Amino acid sequence: MVGTLVNCSEPILPKIISLRPSTRCVPWLYRDSLQRYPDYDLAIALAESPCSRLDSSRNLHHPHLHTVDRQDLPPSPTMSSETSPPPTDDAVALVSDEQDGDPLKDIPPLTTYPATTEEDQIEALRLIADSIAQQRQSASKALIFHPINGSLFVGLLAIITRLLYHGRRSDMMLVGTTWSGILMAGLVSVRLFTGKYLFMAEETGTWGWLGKDVEEGAEKDSVIVSVFGEEVIGALVLRLVSADEDETGGKRRSKRDRRQKGVIRAWTVKRRYRGKGIGTGLLEEAVKCALEKGCEEIEFADDHANSGRVLWPMFNGRFDRGERRGREKLKQVWVEMEGEKKGKGRSKRG
């Protein structure tokens, strides 16, 4: 008899695996085992195994062999609706956002426009002043990590070690103390050399700087801001000036024929938002305003807000590279937008 092959007092799984294929396919043995070991997942696996789906013609001739349906098995405790935890608020919010179809609806908009309110202009001036103060950090890094300064510092430490260390244990403490003093003196020197950037920042972020050296009868400087939500994260100051000399004879043009050009006096983006195209958007808005005013060119001012250099030229490589990239970007934006304007003009005339 098949029933004598299994000892029901032991776990059913090892015994079933050890049986012959024909014996493993006895469904009544599974139901009998469920009464002693109600493992739902095991019963499902056994009931849905290929061997349990015996030929119906063979089952008709045996009183105990018949197929087992999933519905004949007892319900699993893990599938009870009473034991399932209710959905959390975060899950409900996530489902509602997916149903609305707008997962970015909570992200504030980014807008770039000429600042007309005093509040936006103050925030822009403050941002420009902060960018000048941040130049002090870059200048300090340039001094500390420059190869020449690093070589001199290491050589100085080696000379001091050579003079003070004579093989005694007490000499090690003397050398370490001297090293610490030299390091502190070097950091203080770096702080003094780069401190001028703080004074430059204080002078720039004022109303006096905004209206400094404005030509008589000329328009005031335009302040363009990029606002993310309610936070000003980018600022640009644009001034319109007249060209003093003619291209041919070097004579001054008449006031009627005098051409204008745009001059950018400041251009900055808050540090954590840099590299995301916000600065390019500011340049595009500045070029747009310059074209609307009839300007024939636009450039950075020679004395723009971030043009100050307090170190020797060999330490200003980072600043010089950044300025070159900015000028090249401005030239690229001007060529693109001026070409679009001329193309629209030709299409209208056509």
Give the Cα separation of 41 and 38 in Å (integer).
9
Residues 275 and 174 both lie in one domain? no
Name the DSSP class of 20.
Answer: -
Residues 269 and 330 both lie in one domain? yes
Give the residue-averaged pLDDT of 316-324.
Answer: 94
**Residue 206 maps to a domain:** no
Cβ atoms within 10 Å, residue 72:
13
Residues 244 and 284 both lie in one domain? yes
CB-based contacts of 19, cutoff 8 Å, min separation 6: 5, 6
Residue 213: per-residue pLDDT = 81
Judge whether residue 216 has pLDDT over 90: no
Give the residue-averaged pLDDT of 137-162.
Answer: 94
Long-range CB pairs of 179-187, under 8 A, 24+ apart, other chains included: 182/153, 182/156, 182/157, 186/144, 186/153
Short-list 235, 252, 240, 236, CA closest to 214: 240
Handedness of CA 324, 330, 331, 336 (dihedral sign): positive
Residue where one domain finishes, among candidates 21, 51, 76: 76
Residues 218 and 327 both lie in one domain? yes
Cβ atoms within 10 Å, residue 15:
17
* Sequential DSSP letters for 108-163: PPEEEEE--SHHHHHHHHHHHHHHHHHHHHHHHHHHHS-HHHHHHHHHHHHHHHHH
- In this structure, what token pair is assigned to residue 215? 């030509």
- The CA-atom distances, in angstroms, between 165 and each of 161, 174, 177, 305 are 6, 8, 12, 50
Least confident of 59-73, 183-197, 198-212, 230-244: 59-73
**Residue 310 maps to a domain:** yes
Whether residue 278 contacts residue 233, with contact meaning beta carbons closer than 8 Å, is answered with yes
**Residue 280 maps to a domain:** yes
Q: In the predicted model, what is the mean pLDDT of the chain?
A: 77
Q: Which residues pair with 234 in a beta bridge?
A: 226, 269
Judge whether residue 330 has pLDDT over 90: yes
Residue where one domain finishes, among candidates 179, 200, 221: 200
Residues 245 and 164 both lie in one domain? no
- In this structure, what token pair is assigned to residue 310? 């307090």
Give the Cα separation of 320 and 15 in Å (integer).
80
Residues 122 and 236 both lie in one domain? no
| Residue span of the structural domain in which 233 resides | 213-345
Q: What is the CATH number of the domain that holds 308?
A: 3.40.630.30
The DSSP H or E segment spanning 237 is: strand 231-242
Residues 236 and 287 both lie in one domain? yes
Residue 186: per-residue pLDDT = 93
Give the residue-averaged pLDDT of 162-178.
Answer: 91
The DSSP H or E segment spanning 16 is: helix 12-18
Residues 239 and 171 both lie in one domain? no
Residue 185: per-residue pLDDT = 94
Give the Cα separation of 300 and 36 in Å (integer).
87
Long-range CB pairs of 8-12, under 8 A, 24+ apart, other chains included: 8/32, 8/33, 8/36, 11/37, 12/36, 12/37, 12/42
Residue where one domain finishes, among candidates 200, 223, 249: 200
**Residue 103 maps to a domain:** no
Judge whether residue 306 has pLDDT over 90: yes
Give the Cα separation of 315 and 295 in Å (integer).
36
Q: Report how many domains make up the chain.
A: 3
- The CA-atom distances, in angstroms, between 83 and each of 76, 78, 194, 281 are 11, 7, 67, 55
More confident residue, 232 or 83: 232
* Sequential DSSP letters for 321-334: HHHHHHHHHHHHHH
Residues 178 and 278 both lie in one domain? no
**Residue 71 maps to a domain:** yes
**Residue 111 maps to a domain:** no
Residues 189 and 235 both lie in one domain? no
**Residue 91 maps to a domain:** no
Give the Cα separation of 75 and 77 in Å (integer).
7
Residues 221 and 314 both lie in one domain? yes
Give the Cα separation of 132 and 130 in Å (integer).
5
Helices then strands, counting H and E runs in the chain, come out as 13, 5
Residue with tokens 């000329």: 218
**Residue 189 maps to a domain:** yes
Residues 150 and 218 both lie in one domain? no
Least confident of 43-47, 63-67, 83-87, 291-295: 63-67
pLDDT tens digits for range 67-81: 445 455 555 554 444
